[in-house]
Amino acid sequence: MNALVASAFARYPYPEAFFAWRRGTPYSDAVLFYRAARRPPWATLPESEAVFPVVTAHEPEAATELFNQIAQDAARGKDLSFFEGTLSHTRSQVVAQLFYADNYRQQLSSVVGFTVDLDWIEAHYFSELTQQVWSISHGADTGLKMQIKNAADHVVAGDSVDLSGPLSHRRPFDLLFIEAQSAFPVARNFVPEKWSVVVSGADSTLLLRDSVAANRVLLFAAVSSLLFAIGLIMTARAARTNTQLTAMRSDFVSAVTHELKTPIATIKAAAETLAKDRLTGMSVTTCGRIVVMESNRLARLVENLLAYARITDVSDSYTFQTVEVAAIFNDIQQDFEARLDHQGFELHVAINPGVYAVSGDRFALRLLFGNLLDNAIKYSADRRVISLRATLAGSRVALDVEDQGVGIAADEIPKVMRKFVRAREATGGGSGLGLSIASRIAKDHHGDLKIVSEVGRGTTVTVTLPVADGAVEQVA
């Protein structure tokens, strides 16, 4: 046994002592083996010059403390007893192999194990070990630095410098002197201390240079990936927008074609009736009114198309002048008189006292309110009543076009202001340009256009325009 222990002490510096016990003797008579050159703190045998490197002794007090825990594990039939505790006031880790005399593990036959002095480990073991490893791996020649830190994050071995830089790597390990897979199925309630190894290349010129180069590559790759992702998103959005625009333009061309053909066909039919004198049940006046009504409809569509064609710089073609509100209402009333009579509409016009003239292009305002009145006529159902109102709103004039038609859903109001867009409830024909052109004209006149609508009850479109310069003094 002395020879085996001497060999183990020579190979492994961390065991403080080995112990052995055989059945038939008290636990206190267990035999302990420790180094002659490194006696444990609990050793009571007087020091003497020893020829053999292993001292064999009986330490009743230390043996009793050891076997108190080992006996509990033996009572449970365990093969391995593994624990940490104080051995004669020395913080120790103990590993013991248990052998039994029977297959049922009722009679303990013998015990062999070793102890580790954790205080000595922290003070001496890792400093010597790291020096050996570092010299073998040429760590000092490469500019690397290493530390061993205990559970309290205090440096136990290695360089006592700050190794928390970007070129540092930390790896934790359990302070165990037995393989984990062997220990923990046995010692399930034992939680070992977590120590760590820290290696840093902060002082290594080679690593710093490589790190800078690697960071540049990573930065370039990250920027490239970001630009690629942005490009993909923008391409997808452009493709989707292009598809939507193509569909909207297709619908627009189809709607405009239909809108152009309808009044042309009606005018042609009325003209042929007059030319061939085939008036049956229709007077010349009625036929003429139909021609005038469809001509106005065709002219308004052409005006919208021309306005759309130049809508990006339409403000350059305005001729601003002082325009009376009554003149604006009179213009659109004349344009729609035949159509209103023909379709059975009531038109209520109200201009509140104190309403001043506005500043604007009379032709453009005629186009603006013509589009609004055209929408009111197209989207009115059984209640065919339309109101035109003018009120003073501070230093501006508010002009309302109100109908009692199908209305517009609240979520669709912002959309119908765009080109080519029509509401879901829109059943009549149309190009989808009317409200877009009206909104643009109002904006170019330094005013605004707002829509208030309720599905099934009607829509009110309010155009607010600035009062013309000098209009207040002129009225006064």
pLDDT at 476 > cutoff 50: no
234-238, 297-301, 358-362, 458-462: segment of lowest average pLDDT? 297-301
Q: How far is CA 301 from CA 230, 261, 304, 415, 429, in A?
A: 41, 11, 5, 21, 12
Alpha-carbon distance 431 to 420, whole Å? 6
pLDDT digits (tens, 9 = 90+) for 313-372: 444 567 889 999 999 999 989 888 888 888 899 999 999 988 989 999 888 898 889 889
In the chain, the percentage of residues whose pLDDT exceeds 70 is 83
pLDDT at 202 > cutoff 70: no
pLDDT band at 137; cut points 50, 70, 90: low
Mean pLDDT, residues 133-137: 72
Mean pLDDT rounded to a whole number for the chain = 84
In the chain, the percentage of residues whose pLDDT exceeds 90 is 41
pLDDT at 55 > cutoff 70: yes
Alpha-carbon distance 109 to 373, whole Å? 110
- What pLDDT does 312 receive? 45
- Please report, for the chain, the start and end positions of each structural domain, with discontinuous segments joined by +: 2-121, 313-475
**CATH code of the domain made up of 2-121:** 3.30.450
pLDDT digits (tens, 9 = 90+) for 240-264: 888 877 776 676 566 566 566 767 8
pLDDT at 433 > cutoff 60: yes
- What pLDDT does 252 receive? 59
pLDDT at 306 > cutoff 70: no
pLDDT at 309 > cutoff 60: no
pLDDT at 395 > cutoff 90: no
Task: Decide: helix, strand or coil at residue 31.
Answer: strand
- What pLDDT does 208 receive? 65
- What pLDDT does 425 receive? 59
Three-state SS string over 91-107 comes to EEEEEEEEEECCCCCCC
More confident residue, 56 or 474: 56
pLDDT at 47 > cutoff 70: yes
**CATH code of the domain made up of 313-475:** 3.30.565.10
What's 47's DSSP letter?
P
- Tell me the two tokens of residue 361: 């292009």
- What pLDDT does 388 receive? 94
Residues 6 or more apart from 311 whose CB is under 8 A from it? Answer: 436, 437, 440
Burial letters for 70-99: b for 16+ Cβ neighbours within 10 Å, e otherwise? beebbeeebebbbbbeebeebebbbbbebe
- pTM, two decimals, is 0.46
pLDDT at 206 > cutoff 70: no
Query: Is 466 buried (19+), middle (13-18) or exposed (0-12) by CB count in 10 A?
Result: middle
Mean pLDDT, residues 148-175: 85
- Dihedral sign computed on CA atoms, order 114, 120, 122, 127: negative
